[in-house]
Amino acid sequence: MEYALFYAEGDEPIAYVPAADDIGDWVDDLESRGASEYGERLRPDQDATTVRVRDGQLLVTDGPFTESKESIGGFDIIDVADLDEAIEIASRHPAAAFGRVEVRPFMQWPGAEPEARVVPAGFRERVASGRRYLMFVVAERQGRRAVIGDDGGEPTPTEDPMDDDPQAWVDEMDGRGTRLFGDVLRGPEDATFVSRRAGEVLVSDGPFAEAKEWIAGFDVLEVQGLAEAIEVASKHPMARGGTLELRPLWPFDVHDDHVARHEREAAERGIRVEPAAAEVLDEVGAGR
């Protein structure tokens, strides 16, 4: 069974200690048991770009979709036996020790090929030919098009059911070579939160059952830059009923000396490396 693990600070974070970061061992273990599909770190909040379309107007803002501090700093996609194995793996991730790990199952599609996986085979060997972004598809409880899948929340009637179907978008972006892969997650009521404090593993059903907005799915995009990413996001049907958040990937060597890495990266923290949304809007307008 496949799960997405999202890493965030959580409600009661404790300070990150680079010297205690054993992410390399964690990744090695995941690889050795054949559970790892793909994982990346994400550039911090200030590099997020949020895309919405309301009444035909493209709205782009700098920063993440939510005002809360629950911004996601990275993710992994794993393929394991069941939730207990996912919890066990999540509990040993360094983020579990200072923040929390959200374990989210993927939607299981009827009629899917049994060998099909969220991450296409051979993906990790593929050389990037552009800039890669993770695009979060964020659903809103009150949104007109909030419902994806069979039980993602309260059934909200839509004006035109075909509008909700992202398949046309998927076909277009796959055809352009822009969308590398992506999938839909089960709703927040099927999420499990895992953290580790003082050696004890804490498991809970998560505080987001009544959340107003939640990550309903994601796609990994490969584009020329932020302008194209915004253009791609704005065409997604959920741009109209929900929100798309674009996050540049932030690759690093998991076996690095994390104290040195942390010091090296300190200069980058708090500084937006993405162009401001306003700067690229003209470009996006031209591309539409």
Partner 1 sequence: MTDGAPTPEGRAEVLAPAVAAALRSAFETEWSRVVATLIRTTGDWDVAEEATSGAFERAATTWPRDGVPANPGAWLTTAARNLALDRLRRRGVETDKVREWIAMEALEGRTGGPPDPADVAIARDEPAWEDRLRLVFTCTHPALPMESRVALTLRTVGGLETSEIARAFFVPESTMAQRLVRAKRKIRNAGIPYRVPPPEALADRLDGVLAVLYLVSNEGYVASSGDRLQRVHLAVEAIRLTRLVVDLLPDAHEPHALLALMLLQHARAAARVDAGGELVPLEEQRREQWDRALIAEGLALLGPIPTSERGPYRVQAEIQAVHVSARTPDETDWAAIVRRYDELAGLMRGASPFVELARAIAIGMADGADHGLAALAALESSGRLAGYHLLPAAQADLLRRSGRADAAAARYRETIPLAPTAPERRFLERRLAEVEASAAPGPDR
- The verdict on 43 binding partner 1 (CB under 8 A) reads no
Site for partner 1 in 100-139 (CB under 8 A): 103, 105
Cα 261 to Cα 57, 104, 264, 265: the distances in Å are 41, 29, 5, 6
> Applying CB under 8 A, does 238 fall inside the site for partner 1?
no
Quick one: which of 5, 35, 48, 86 contacts partner 1 (CB under 8 A)?
86
Instruction: Please identify which residue in the block is written with the tokens 């031209």.
Output: 286
Residue choice 43, 186, 196, 236 for contact with partner 1 (CB under 8 A):
186
Residue closer to partner 1 (CB basis): 157 or 199: 199
Looking only at residues 62 through 81 of this chain, which bind partner 1 when binding is defined by CB under 8 A? Answer: 81
Size of the site for partner 1 (CB under 8 A): 22
Residue 25 makes contact with partner 1 by CB under 8 A: no
**String of b and e for 19-49 (b: at least 16 CB within 10 Å)?**
eebbbeebbeebeeeebbbbbbbbbbbbbbb
Q: For residues 197-216, which are near partner 1 according to CB under 8 A?
A: 201, 203-205, 209
The span from the CA of 182 to the CA of 185, in Å, is: 10
Tell which one of 11, 12, 151, 282 touches partner 1 (CB under 8 A). Answer: 151
Closest separation in Å from C-beta 208 to partner 1? 12
Q: Where are the beta strands (DSSP E) in 123-237?
A: 131-140, 179-184, 192-197, 200-204, 213-223
